[in-house]
């Protein structure tokens, strides 16, 4: 049975060796644990896993082998009503979507919207011209158009709106979330830099021994300041909209960063950085921090980390007034360049799969603006980003 278990770990791409397997067999032969599956789990992890970054893979492989973890295949379950409503909305084929032409830019879109506000007198549904629901008009909600303004209602999931008219409420990322894996912390530790600062309240044993020997055996205590991680990090977090798909991983990153970095400052933005940021999403319309103040408050020694999927309309990056929520006086690209120039050590962490980046025009634009310093929010991506920031 243990040989099959060993091969199941290898099949799960865990770097376990024959020597470690023999160590496990020897420990069992010496009966260092009670005959318990839980105790065997801890013993196997201790002897077979050399690096804590593989703890998650080990847990999954162990559960699949010993506990018969299976995917649920039972189809007899209740379907939520809101899910059924979403499925019953009008669904367009790719051919139908291709026939719907964009109006040709943000300015033309806003000009047409003003005209409709003056002309429209009643509610419309399923049409292609007026402000309504479920149709192919550029204005309204619940339908499809390659470039439109969503007014009220829930998103249909197409993510093609260049502006959204509604009171949007986001919640803060939880910095106390229980980390299910230590991988993120391990990767972030590559950025740490220790130095001794403050009062000398820690015993320096090597210097004490040297000083005592040089003092003819009379004890001569030497003290040094405690070592601290001196790296300073400024984190800007995208929140709301398409980032709702990545809340769990972003919270894990945020929580790990707060645990690893003593000097961590953070602010929120939506989609792209403009002329203001905020600390609290519930009070973001009342308590805003001008981005100029952030640029002046923090010194260039801070490591700047953007966290976001960079998925938005290109207008939101390149054009003044292109923000999905308000008429920003300057383009997002202007602010991204200002931040990159102010903080030479910067990186963008993207939770979207890297294979999708080439299909997102806004991702390509932001990567170019930041000198290709965009990395996937994976273990390998984090390690590469931290290595780049530490140079």
Q: 270 and 317, same structural domain?
A: yes
pLDDT digits (tens, 9 = 90+) for 258-289: 888 888 899 999 999 999 999 988 877 788 99
pLDDT of residue 74: 41
Q: 304 and 374, same structural domain?
A: yes
Residue 120 lies in a domain: yes
Residue 356 is part of a domain; what is its CATH number? 3.40.50
Residue 16 lies in a domain: yes
Percent of the chain scoring above 70 in pLDDT: 65
The model's confidence at residue 331, banded by pLDDT at 50, 70 and 90, is very high
pLDDT higher than 50, residue 217 = yes
CA distances to 180, 238, 334, 363 from 292, rounded to whole Å, are 37, 18, 12, 24
**C-alpha closest to that of 45 among 34, 56, 26, 58:** 58
**More reliable by pLDDT, 75 or 326:** 326
Q: Could you say which of 66, 98, 116 is where a domain stops?
A: 66
Residue 172 lies in a domain: no
pLDDT of residue 222: 83
* Rounded Cα gap, residues 381 and 358, in angstroms: 17
Q: 258 and 303, same structural domain?
A: yes
Q: 323 and 253, same structural domain?
A: yes
Question: What's the chain's average pLDDT?
Answer: 78
pLDDT of residue 332: 94
pLDDT of residue 71: 40
Residue 175 lies in a domain: no
Q: 376 and 252, same structural domain?
A: yes
Q: 284 and 272, same structural domain?
A: yes
pLDDT of residue 193: 57
The domain containing residue 151 runs over which residues?
81-165
Q: 132 and 24, same structural domain?
A: no
Residue 170 lies in a domain: no
pLDDT digits (tens, 9 = 90+) for 354-375: 988 988 899 999 999 999 999 9
pLDDT of residue 106: 59
Predicted TM-score (pTM) above 0.85? no
pLDDT higher than 80, residue 346 = yes
Q: Which residues contact 261 (CB under 8 A, 6 or more apart)?
A: 188, 191, 192, 229, 231, 232, 233
pLDDT of residue 2: 80
Identify the DSSP state of 334: H
User: Best-predicted range by mean pLDDT among 68-77, 113-122, 190-199, 352-361?
Assistant: 352-361
Q: 238 and 386, same structural domain?
A: yes
Q: 383 and 240, same structural domain?
A: yes
pLDDT of residue 256: 84
Residue 248 lies in a domain: yes
Residue 212 lies in a domain: yes
Q: 236 and 208, same structural domain?
A: no
H-only helix segments in 49-128: 55-66, 81-88, 94-99, 106-119
Q: 240 and 220, same structural domain?
A: no
pLDDT digits (tens, 9 = 90+) for 90-102: 455 565 455 555 5
Q: 383 and 258, same structural domain?
A: yes
At residue 139's C-alpha, the angle toward residues 136 and 142, to 5°, is 60
Domains of the chain: total: 4
pLDDT higher than 80, residue 143 = no
Residue 171 lies in a domain: no
H-only helix segments in the chain: 2-11, 18-29, 37-48, 55-66, 81-88, 94-99, 106-119, 183-188, 205-214, 247-260, 291-297, 315-318, 332-342, 361-369, 379-390
């Amino acid at each position: 049975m243990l040989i099959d278990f060993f091969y199941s770990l290898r099949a799960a791409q865990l770097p376990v060796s024959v020597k470690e397997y023999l160590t496990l067999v020897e420990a069992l032969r010496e009966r260092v644990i009670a005959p318990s599956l839980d105790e065997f789990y801890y013993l196997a992890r201790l002897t077979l896993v050399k690096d804590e970054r593989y703890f998650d893979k080990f847990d999954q492989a162990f559960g699949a082998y010993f506990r018969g973890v299976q995917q649920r295949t039972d189809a007899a379950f209740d379907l939520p009503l809101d899910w059924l409503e979403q499925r019953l909305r009008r669904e367009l084929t790719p051919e139908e979507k291709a026939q719907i032409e964009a109006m040709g830019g943000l300015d033309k879109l806003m000009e047409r919207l003003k005209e409709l506000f003056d002309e429209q007198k009643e509610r419309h549904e399923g049409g292609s011209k007026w402000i309504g629901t479920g149709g192919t008009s550029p204005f309204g909600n619940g339908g499809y158009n390659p470039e439109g303004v969503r007014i009220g209602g829930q998103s249909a999931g197409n993510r093609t709106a260049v502006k959204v008219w509604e009171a949007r409420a986001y919640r803060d990322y939880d910095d106390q979330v229980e980390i299910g894996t230590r991988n993120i912390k391990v990767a972030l530790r590559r950025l740490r830099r220790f130095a001794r600062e403050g009062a000398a309240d820690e015993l320096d044993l090597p210097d004490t021994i040297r000083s005592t020997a040089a003092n003819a055996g009379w004890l001569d205590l030497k003290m040094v300041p405690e070592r601290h991680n001196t790296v300073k990090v400024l984190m800007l977090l995208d929140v709301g909209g398409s980032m709702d798909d990545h809340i769990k991983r972003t919270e894990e990153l945020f929580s790990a960063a707060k645990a690893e970095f003593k000097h961590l400052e953070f602010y929120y933005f939506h989609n792209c950085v403009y002329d203001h940021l905020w600390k609290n999403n519930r009070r973001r319309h009342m308590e805003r921090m001008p981005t100029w103040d952030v640029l002046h408050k923090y010194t260039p020694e801070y490591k700047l980390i953007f966290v976001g999927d960079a998925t938005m309309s290109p207008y939101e990056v390149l054009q003044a007034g292109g923000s999905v929520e308000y008429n920003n006086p300057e383009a997002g690209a202007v602010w991204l360049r200002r931040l990159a120039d102010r903080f030479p050590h910067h990186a963008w962490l993207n939770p979207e799969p890297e294979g999708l980046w080439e299909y997102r025009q806004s991702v390509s634009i932001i990567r170019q603006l930041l000198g290709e310093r965009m990395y996937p929010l994976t273990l390998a991506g984090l390690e590469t980003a931290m290595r780049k920031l530490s140079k």
